[in-house]
Structures are given as structure tokens and as C-alpha cells.
């Protein structure tokens, strides 16, 4: 059998796990599936997947084992008893973990002779196997290259380096930006909603404005990388967000999202940097 259709074992059949397995089946791979709780594999088995009797049975069915479980603890609960069976095999871990958790699993894998690749899925389940999906990988580059025939079935595959925690770090950093943006949008929706403006109308106004503002990300990034915030579009002094906090309170809305930003701005102003650009709040956030 060619590397392009090699058999794969997939541990974990949540919504994402099922989509990963379905994409492999569609591409002609032999797929053995296992889930901690029964009943989630019926459709996949109907499409040709093999149902494993337990995790050990699944692991023994393929040289490439894909893990997509709930969290870091569940990865160890599942893999630790199978260390001997996994020796010499490839494990691609697509479970969402912190960077240090990814590094810890990589260390565990190395100790047990397991070839390890960590992955971070930058897509929703319906995007798997479709344009626009991307999965970041880090760890063993040899494994990445050898398993591209599998990895590319799901999404655009991008290797981010030998540090097993790098893919997770980039993933969580981007999710931080996403969730913060969503929270800020919902905060604005609550503000206008207090005066009877529906959220859809607000979204139609906000979406193009926010999209246009993302053009400033590169300018802020350049200032951060230079460590020079002295040529601002608008200074921290002129970016006082106190009126946004007050307006939120006047609307009866929790000001927490914007109050957080104002606190970061105020910290830099109080330190004597009011003439610098807004990107300087990075200095309030960065690791010391």
C-alpha cells in the first residue's frame, strides 16, 4: 500500500475526530477508530472504518496513530498504558493543549521510543478537507514529511519548527485574539442593544469597520519588533478610553472588556509614556 493511502488509527471521535476520520475514509485510507465512550462510530463504520475493540486494538492496526481527545490528561490516560505498543510508531497529537503540555507529551514519547508530532487545528470541524482549513505542526520534522500523505487530507499542513510546543503556542495566541475580538463585539452589541438596536444591524456596521482596522496590525507589529513606539498614529494620551467605560456603565452594560484595555493603557501613561503610540500597551502585557 502506498504512503498516500496508508492505514491510520484514530483515537477520539468527538465532532472533530469524526471529521478527521471521514476525510481519511473519503481519500481511500484504511481507518481504525476508537472512542472512550461507545456509539460515536456507527456512521464511520458504515462508510468502511474498522471499529477497534479497545485503544490497544486500534494502535496495533496502524503505524500512524492520530490522537484527538478532550485534553492533556485524557491523552495520558489513553496513551500511557500503551507505551510498549506505541514504540516505533508515529503519534500525531491533535488534542488542544498548552505549549508546555505538548512539550511534556513529546518528552514522554521520546522516552518510550515513539515518534511524535504535535498539531494545532486552525479550523472548525466542517472545514476539514475543504479550502481554508489549516493545521499547524511542530516537533519531529521527519515525521511531518513522512506523514504528509495523511496530514494533507485534512487541511493545508504547515510545519512550525522542532519545538513541539510551537504549534500550540501559535494556535492559542491566535485564539486569544479571536476570542478577545468576539468578546469586544458582543460588548458593543450589548451597548447598542440597551437602546433597542438589534445585534444583526450592529454586526453589519461593525464587521467592515473591524476588518479595515486589521490593516493596522502590521504597523503595530513593526513598532513592537523595533521596540519603538515614538511615531504614533495616535498617542496613548489621546487614546483615553475612560469615556467608553462610562458609556458602557450608562447603558447598564458590564464595562469589563474595555476597562481591561484602559487599565493597560493607563499603566503605560502613568509610567511616563503617554506620547507613545497605542501599541505600547504590549509592554504592559509582555512576559517579564
| pLDDT tens column, 205-243 | 999 999 999 999 999 999 999 999 998 888 999 999 999
- Tell me what the pLDDT averaged over the chain comes to: 95
Confidence label for 1 from pLDDT (cuts 50, 70 and 90): very low
3-state secondary structure of 174: helix
* Same-domain pairing of 86 and 27: yes
* Residue at a domain's end among 141, 162, 183: 162
- In this predicted model, what pLDDT tens digit does every residue of 17-43 receive, in sequence order? 999 999 999 999 999 999 999 889 999
Taking alpha carbons only, the member of 144, 53, 40, 52 closest to residue 91 is 144
Whether 156 and 242 map to the same domain: the answer is: no
Q: Is the pLDDT of residue 3 over 80?
A: no
Same domain? 157 vs 175: no
Q: What is the pLDDT of residue 2?
A: 39
Question: Within this chain, do residues 135 and 8 fall inside the same structural domain, yes or no?
Answer: yes
Task: Find the mean pLDDT for residues 194-201.
Answer: 97
Query: Does the pLDDT value for residue 15 go beyond 90?
Result: yes
DSSP 235: B
State the pLDDT confidence band at 4, using cuts at 50, 70 and 90. Answer: low
Q: Which of 162, 190, 211 is the last residue of a domain?
A: 162
| Domain total in the chain | 2
For residue 34, the surrounding DSSP H or E stretch is strand 31-34
Q: What is the pTM of this model?
A: 0.91
Same-domain check for residues 11 and 145:
yes
Does 78 score more than 80 pLDDT?
A: yes
Average pLDDT over residues 193-197: 97
Q: Could you say which of 122, 146, 162 is where a domain stops?
A: 162
The answer on 185 and 265 residing in a single domain is yes
**What whole-number distance in Å separates Cα of residue 124 and Cα of residue 126?**
6
pLDDT of residue 111: 98
**Is pLDDT larger for residue 79 or for residue 2?**
79
Q: List the domain range (segments joined by +) for residue 251.
A: 170-285
Same domain for 111 and 47: yes
- Determine contact, residues 105/93, Cβ cutoff 8 Å: yes
CATH code, 247:
1.10.1040.10
DSSP code of residue 38: S
| Residues 120 and 168 sit within 8 Å (Cβ to Cβ) | yes
pLDDT 10s digits, 242-287: 999 999 999 999 999 999 999 999 999 999 999 999 999 999 998 7
Q: Are residues 183 and 111 in the same domain?
A: no
Calculate mean pLDDT across residues 84-89: 98
Claim to verify: residue 11 and residue 57 sit in the same structural domain: yes
CA distance 288 to 275: 23
Percent of residues, the chain, with pLDDT higher than 70: 98
- pLDDT, tens only, 137-182: 999 999 999 999 999 999 999 999 999 999 999 999 999 999 999 9
Amino acid at each position: 500500500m502506498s504512503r498516500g493511502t496508508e492505514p491510520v488509527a484514530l483515537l477520539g471521535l468527538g465532532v472533530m475526530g469524526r471529521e478527521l476520520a471521514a476525510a481519511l475514509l473519503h481519500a481511500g485510507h484504511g481507518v481504525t477508530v476508537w472512542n472512550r465512550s461507545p456509539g460515536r462510530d456507527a456512521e464511520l463504520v458504515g462508510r468502511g472504518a474498522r471499529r477497534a475493540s479497545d485503544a490497544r486494538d486500534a494502535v496495533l492496526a496502524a503505524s500512524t496513530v492520530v490522537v484527538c481527545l478532550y485534553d492533556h490528561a485524557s491523552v495520558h490516560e489513553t496513551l500511557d498504558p500503551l507505551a510498549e505498543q506505541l514504540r516505533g510508531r508515529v503519534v500525531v497529537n491533535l488534542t488542544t493543549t498548552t505549549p508546555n503540555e505538548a512539550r511534556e507529551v513529546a518528552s514522554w514519547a521520546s522516552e518510550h521510543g515513539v515518534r511524535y508530532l504535535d498539531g494545532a487545528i486552525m479550523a472548525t470541524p466542517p472545514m476539514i478537507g475543504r479550502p481554508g482549513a489549516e493545521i499547524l505542526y511542530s516537533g519531529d520534522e521527519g515525521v511531518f514529511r513522512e506523514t504528509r500523505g495523511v496530514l494533507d487530507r485534512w487541511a493545508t499542513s504547515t510545519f512550525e519548527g522542532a519545538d513541539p510546543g510551537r504549534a500550540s503556542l501559535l494556535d492559542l495566541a491566535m485564539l486569544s485574539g479571536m476570542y478577545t475580538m468576539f468578546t469586544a463585539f458582543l460588548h458593543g452589541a450589548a451597548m447598542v442593544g440597551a437602546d433597542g438596536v438589534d445585534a444583526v444591524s450592529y454586526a453589519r456596521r461593525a464587521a467592515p469597520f473591524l476588518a479595515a482596522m486589521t490593516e493596522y496590525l502590521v504597523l503595530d507589529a513593526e513598532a513592537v519588533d523595533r521596540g519603538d513606539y515614538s511615531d504614533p498614529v495616535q498617542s496613548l494620551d489621546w487614546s483615553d478610553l475612560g469615556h467608553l467605560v462610562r458609556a458602557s456603565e450608562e447603558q447598564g452594560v458590564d464595562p469589563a472588556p474595555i476597562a481591561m484595555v484602559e487599565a493597560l493603557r493607563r499603566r503605560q501613561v502613568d509610567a511616563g509614556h503617554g506620547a507613545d503610540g497605542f501599541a505600547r500597551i504590549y509592554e504592559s502585557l509582555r512576559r517579564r
